Structure 1
Amino acid sequence: MAELTMIEAIRAALFRALEEDPDIVIFGEDVGIDGGVFRATDGLIQRFGAARVRDTPLSETVIAGVAVGAAAHGLRPVAEIQFMGFIYSAIDQLVNHAARLRNRTRGRLGCPMVLRAPFGGGVKAPEHHSESMEAMLAHIPGLRVVIPSSPTRAYGLLLAAIRDPDPVVFLEPKRLYRSVSEAVEDNGKALPLDRAFVLREGGDVTLVTWGAMVQESREAADLLADEGIFAEMIDLGTLKPYDRATVRDSVRKTGRCVIVHEAPLTAGFGAEIAADLAEHCLTSLLAPVRRVAGYDTVMPYPRLERHYMPSTARVVNAVRSVMEFT
């Protein structure tokens, strides 16, 4: 079993998918000859040829539109948007075509496509390269939004997304691309979509998070355990549709919840989780649900980036506040 970084696990999943299914095609800006801006597709064109791994023009609208058309005609495209900040040009195709195609044709056509995009901050990237706008995508009916938080989950969830009969946006936290590694078995086994992962059990507070923020949440949980506060930590994995049952069951057990995400606070996906808990777990809550999030401003340039992103200390302080609530 090889020790892989997240980017290597993604590449392994793409290799596996291309080998297993001749209908899978990969395309995007620089994904072929250069192997992608982060080298996620490095070596694919040499192994599978330019007919299945294709470089495209610098047009996100074209990339998304071609993916929809290819999926409707029986292929399984895996398209790459170089950075999430460039995805806005593809929104028309995602909202009006990819997400609606099955409903529009009353099931005669599907849209089994995956749109991959690196997202989030932490790598000192310039403007338009560090957005975390997953809530915008999660608002689109008919679209799945999947976010891995480790190499193992990147491998298994990407395979599941590629095999899914409906469109999936697969958001990859680029801060984790090379910062973490773990043993990943390249066995072609997919992980379940729409199911949260309970990373650690605890009885005092529920920590709900996803993507790169799993790292800060795990560090916070370790520090809190030293204080005698034992957090149950949940990685959503899939944001749309997210595993409400697992989150509700945990909060009914702990009575407290802190939601951690990098995206701006207002209308971030944490607000949906908090609203669901208020509606379904009110009598179990011993304290208000707290959110630890980015600020309602554009992600700052590199020197201020770390001040914007939620820190381990902010998560610890939020948990302490809900534990002290009376």
Structure 2
Amino acid sequence: MIKLGADIFREIVDNYKTNIRKMQPTLLILAAGMASRYGSLKQIQEFGPSGETIIDYSIYDAINAGFGKIVFIIRENFASEFKEIFEPKLKGRIKTDYVYQEMGAFVGGHQIPAERTKPWGTAHAILCAKDAINEPFAVINADDFYGTDSFVKMAAFLKNECKPELYSVVGYQLGKTISEHGSVSRGVCSVNEAGNLAAINERTKIYKENDQIVYEEADGSKHPLPADTPVSMNFWGFDPSVFQLSQTLFNEFLEKNISNPKSEFFIPIVADEFIRRNIGQVKVLPTSAQWFGVTYKEDAPGVQASLNELVKKGEYPDNLWK
């Protein structure tokens, strides 16, 4: 039977969709932070029983969940040290690439103020990976432990659902993400009846006060938040279309904030505008997992104990890369 032009076109489209769904997603790891509160390069600190970093556990979970490439966003001044740690472990296991987040990237003709001392934030970091990623991808922080369940859910979303009109975020319960040693920054999520993100607000000072959790605003006012409030821990799922949107929004951000040396272009800004401008939806992938991470030095012993406990339970081997 001779196929007509329309039949051939439909077959090409169907094949394209099938191939996109079979494509292994990429994991983008944000590791360019200055670790100002922690006081050292926490991204490469050893916590596991065989010297594993938190990043090692995320990569291990990502490989098992079906991710095909790791892209690290780092600063060029510690690139050699970083690569010496991770390349021997990952060679032959998964593809790797490195992107440098530099302050002058994607700023166009804007003049950067002399008092600006650090890059422009997490959404700017994603934008810096524009030329390294062509497939659906997830974004995580280097210093957060997310757990196996989150990687499995995210990989399934990226392979089967992700498209230019649908992104995702893993939603954690706020009470399971608080540090006992100081305030934390969280993207507080409002979720609609369809399970999609209605809005997200970056709260940069959340902490426990007596028996409740509060967030504090710049004027010092405090507002309570329920422990089961869904929050983003910067575990996002994106279609590559996010790069163009991020560039547009970053240009707008610079027009308004170029003179503010402490302003930051956060991922929630991009997600919120994606929804507000009716470009698409962000699906919330709920998890009841216990998050842990190292915001402060005092968090480190607890992280090490938590990892050792997971190894004892058999959830991870005592040496991830043996």
* TM-score, normalised relative to structure 2: 0.27
More helix per residue: 1 or 2? 1
More strand per residue: 1 or 2? 2
Structure of greater relative contact order (alpha carbons < 8 Å, 6+ residues apart): 2
* TM-score, normalised relative to structure 1: 0.27
